[in-house]
Amino acid sequence: MGLNFSSSSLRGSEAYDLVSFDSHIHTTLSLTNQLSHQTTESSPITGAAESEVSLRDRVEDFYELTKPRLSFMSVVTAVAGYLSADPTRDFSVLFSLLVGTSLAAGGAAVLNQWLEREADAKMVRTKNRAIPAGRIAPIHAFIYGMGLSILGCFLLYKGANLLAGTLTAATIASYVLLYTPLKRFTTWNTLVGAIPGALPPLIGWAAAEGRITTLGWILFAILFLWQMPHFFAIAWTHRKDYAQGGFVMLSNADSTGQKVAIQSFVFCLALIVSTLLPVLLGYATWIYGVIAIVAGIYYLRPAIAFLNVDQRDAAARKLFFASIFYLPALLLPLVLDLWLL
């Protein structure tokens, strides 16, 4: 999980009528049909498909492979952690944080899709992503993802400090090596995936101070708790797709959705409490506290509706969109309160 928050845009096949490489086959096949059956790195279709794609489309595919909207959320939360620590105004450190986090988040997203390419090919929501659709060869995606990840960690290590670089590496490793494979074995994957998703604020905090103090861990808790209703809403909305892809999600194990709804509600309540800790511990004023309460109620309303079986599908979509608006509505006032009041 990490901060898995939006889906990639879908695009149709780029070329048709690819002639088979087997000399014994004389029938011209549709490239779209061939790509839908590709599952291995060695398939000749991949190389031919890539040669048919224009440079502009190729660049767009590699860009989308980084899940830019999801990666942007990681950057925002990392910067929120950096600013909350009230750092010295060192532009070079902030620049390293922005670029390094962007590269690392993008690299983790690429490696995630590289590992899940066969499952993605089975799901309607993801089958037209660049790797399962054959527009980018798996080996190229792997090299790309590793390159972005290593460069991001190195930039944070050199531009900020060792702790920031180490936390970045831990985020990538836990997302790719723990969360991603666990999706095939246990419903606990959502809880595990929330850990790398909550680490970016600590990366920002570490970049600012070189250590992590109480408020930094509070930000980690806020991000961790926020993700649970967010991902439960996604999992319920796309439960059939996840099942077809072979992922073990709570929404598939719970056919009525009652467990998913109850857990979403409980995590929302815990989130509201955690957002008030900066006020209760004296870090922020009640100006931020009031905003946190209002934002929490806004997030809680669709979670309550999610408990109603008759409203469950519609409420899940509302809960997802509420989660997207909630996070900046909470973090921006917190940073401003810490800096200005």
At which of 211, 234, 249 does a domain end? 211
Write down the H helix ranges in 37-161: 44-52, 55-65, 68-84, 91-115, 117-120, 138-159
Same domain, 271 and 142: no
Same domain, 207 and 225: no
Same domain, 207 and 217: no
At which of 193, 211, 229 does a domain end? 211
CA 217 to chain centre: 20
Same domain, 221 and 148: no
Q: What pLDDT score does 14 carry?
A: 36
pLDDT at 40 over 70: no
Read off the pLDDT of residues 102-142 as tens digits, 9 standing for 90 and up. 999 999 999 999 999 999 999 998 999 999 999 999 999 99
DSSP bridge partners of 29: 18
At which of 211, 226, 249 does a domain end? 211
Same domain, 185 and 267: no
Q: Label residue 308 by pLDDT band (50, 70, 90).
A: very high
Same domain, 72 and 133: yes
* Higher per-residue confidence, 24 vs 267: 267
Same domain, 23 and 147: yes
- In the chain, pLDDT over 70 holds for what percent of residues? 84
Same domain, 206 and 224: no
9: domain range? Answer: 1-211
Largest distance between two CA atoms of the chain = 77
Q: Label residue 172 by pLDDT band (50, 70, 90).
A: very high
For residues 205-219, give the mean pLDDT. Answer: 94
What's the chain's average pLDDT?
85
* Higher per-residue confidence, 2 vs 296: 296
3-class SS letters over 10-54 = CCCCCCCCEECCCCCCCCEECHHHHHHCCCCCCCHHHHHHHHHCC
**What letter represents residue 205's amino acid?**
W
Q: Label residue 339 by pLDDT band (50, 70, 90).
A: confident
Read off the pLDDT of residues 218-269 as tens digits, 9 standing for 90 and up. 999 999 999 999 999 999 999 998 998 899 998 888 889 999 999 999 999 9
Q: What residues have CB less than 8 Å from 89, skipping those under 6 apart? A: none
Same domain, 196 and 294: no
Show the CA angle centred on residue 110, arms to residues 92 and 220, nearest 5°: 55
pLDDT at 169 over 80: yes
**Domain with 183 in it: what CATH number?**
1.10.357.140
Q: Label residue 32 by pLDDT band (50, 70, 90).
A: very low
For residues 327-341, give the mean pLDDT. Answer: 91
Q: Label residue 19 by pLDDT band (50, 70, 90).
A: very low
Same domain, 84 and 222: no
Residue with tokens 């040669």: 51
Same domain, 165 and 226: no
* Higher per-residue confidence, 15 vs 272: 272
Count: domains in the chain: 2
pLDDT at 313 over 50: yes
**What letter represents residue 123's amino acid?**
M
Q: Label residue 1 by pLDDT band (50, 70, 90).
A: very low
Read off the pLDDT of residues 57-112 as tens digits, 9 standing for 90 and up. 889 999 999 999 889 999 999 999 999 987 666 789 999 999 999 999 999 999 99
Q: What pLDDT score does 54 carry?
A: 83
Q: What pLDDT score does 146 carry?
A: 97
Q: Label residue 39 by pLDDT band (50, 70, 90).
A: very low
Task: Give the H/E segment covering residue 259.
Answer: helix 258-280
Write down the H helix ranges in 210-257: 214-237, 239-245, 250-253
Same domain, 134 and 230: no
Which structure tokens are listed for 225?
């708790």
Residue 53 Rama label (left phi>0; alpha psi -120 to 50; beta): beta
Q: What pLDDT score does 323 carry?
A: 96
For residue 119, the number of C-alpha atoms closer than 13 Å in the C-beta half-sphere is 18
